[in-house]
Amino acid sequence: MCASLAESGSLIVLMPDPTNPLALWQPVISLGPITWGEGVEPMAVLAGLTANDPSAHVYPLDVAVAVRTHASTTVPTTDVVSAASRLGVSNPGGLIGRDAEAELLITREQFRYVIGIPSDAQAWVEATCVATVPRLPDQPDPMPMLQELFDDLLASFEWTP
């Protein structure tokens, strides 16, 4: 999969730094070019996206513009337990107490960004940012921190015409 993405001009950013608390979430970003069809106006596409998706948010990036959408999907803990079992892993180091294991919530958070320079239809990319987030019900919602992480990372790129 990574090879085919690279062949199509995509860039993948993995952030598995084990010393960072976010490593538990395994955030991944894939970036790829957007090729617009003949006569397609990118800003009209962004307008349609923001009108049709309640999670859509538009924000400027120096000379570029970006639209971010967000989707959250619950991952059944039985799927995680099965996958961990196949790998021979079960609650490594006793990080989660037995009584809390049943309350564990796992979500797959996906942020999609369409980023480009309004005056140049050739200067557009799509970034898909994904993290799988385990948490207990009494812990704060991690979505705002993930959103900030991905927003800040993409804002750190240099978008030039």
Is 95 within a domain?
Answer: no
Flag whether the pTM goes above 0.85. no
Q: How do the pLDDT tens digits run along the chain, 161 residues long? A: 455 555 655 555 555 555 555 556 677 888 889 999 888 999 999 999 999 999 999 887 878 899 999 999 988 776 666 666 666 656 544 555 555 556 778 888 999 999 998 888 888 999 999 988 887 788 888 888 888 888 888 888 877 76
Determine the 3-state secondary structure of 49 from DSSP: helix
What pLDDT is recorded for position 31?
A: 87
Q: What is the total count of domains within the chain?
A: 1
Is 122 within a domain?
Answer: yes
What pLDDT is recorded for position 1?
A: 44
pLDDT digits (tens, 9 = 90+) for 109-146: 999 999 998 888 888 999 999 988 887 788 888 888 88
Is 105 within a domain?
Answer: yes
How far is 149 from 155, CA to CA, in rounded Å?
Answer: 10
How far is 126 from 134, CA to CA, in rounded Å?
Answer: 26
What pLDDT is recorded for position 18?
A: 54
Determine the 3-state secondary structure of 33 from DSSP: strand
Is 34 within a domain?
Answer: yes
Is 76 within a domain?
Answer: yes
Is 148 within a domain?
Answer: no
pLDDT digits (tens, 9 = 90+) for 52-61: 999 999 887 8
For residue 120, what are the domain limits? Answer: 2-90+100-142
Placement of tokens 């598995």 in the chain? 16
Query: Measuring CA to CA, which residue among 45, 14, 39, 10 is closest to residue 130?
Result: 14
How far is 14 from 26, CA to CA, in rounded Å?
Answer: 8
How far is 141 from 143, CA to CA, in rounded Å?
Answer: 6
